[in-house]
A and B are shown apart, each in its own frame.
Chain A
């Protein structure tokens, strides 16, 4: 995904950019409203992460203007103030969601997904691999014409494999991406989810292959 991060704190901006990049996202960073406006004018973003307190103005002004331009790009507000009235205020101004600093990136991801799912309005963004048709936003998986119901963790796991088929993911990496860091899970817990996912797709031409000592990869049979 392509993010525009509007955040004046340089350290935080750098960290967030770096962290999102680790998950394969592309991040542009604007430290001021004016810069942000330049970015929005020249490029399309999947998501705007917007800080409220900015050196050249209030993030809510940007939001207001952004919505005024009929720009549909979803906005998640990053706020350090946790006052509900502030949060509700930004929702009223057209933000799609907000998240309080410091945040768990898995929560951010979850919220992004929820926002994008709402925004997509049923337009499929499905990916194919073998006879699997997977729409991570809608959370649907089809084997041929047959729909399989997956639970959230299974969806997320499948999404990780789908993002890079045939690439080996270590157990550690999978745990890192699948679980929030304050969830106390061992790496073996991943085997449970892999086993479930294997069961769901056993009827397809795709399988999750165990690469001994390294991890798992998604491959065609």
Chain B
């Protein structure tokens, strides 16, 4: 398990200018066009499998655009764009804070979207960052391993359950290693901001010797493999996809609050095909926010029912507030506290 010490962004900026390609690529795929045309280079932290329908739908409408799709972690994405100034046309990330940081610090270019009126104001920032999903941070558990226990509905319940049944949960609880995962860090800071129970939960997880993961997918795999009984702050969208095939997987949306992450797209300042990139982003926006939606849309679809909105669901707001936890001192302090809580060995 890699434990990546998050370096000061600004320090790395100087250091990494020397290397042409220092960021770590996880997956890479080219979606060739049917006709010759521009190549849209996308850097993303969304898995190819999940995101592919979006690309294919786009190519159906614009058959002359090839798509070069590179999957990296959100931290690597930041590195590639912020430090290395790599050339990409679209950057898609679930790490909203990093997307905002890129936009705030001048690494993006504006896109005046023709479909912007479809989305609420809070779902975009400065014509630079456009959100096209709302994905909950969920608790995922193994139904079989949970047998006999009441399923908790709030963090208080969860803390009590964990505390009361250490024999079941010792070494069997997982969560993000927020030092490594941008998304995990984002979820953690939102939790911390929202409620004190976050720290108590972390302490409890610490005493249970919680395992730390880089990614949601790994945590879900942990549940199916029996390595874990419960994982906290797993991306609900991934879990739902897997739960469809594995009936043992249970997904909890805690009622005290559930954080919603907004996956977002930006156009990096060095984009070679900004118009194509803009068109692509408009497709993403339309697929999620439009009244009709899209069948191929791979993420949880927008709930358009007239039912009163679930007040416990809190979407993370795009905006400069997200810069706070990107502050070196703040980040270091937060990570220190978190480590103190969760790593008790």
A and B touch in the complex (CB under 8 A): no
A interface vs B, CB < 8 Å?
none
B interface vs A, CB < 8 Å?
none
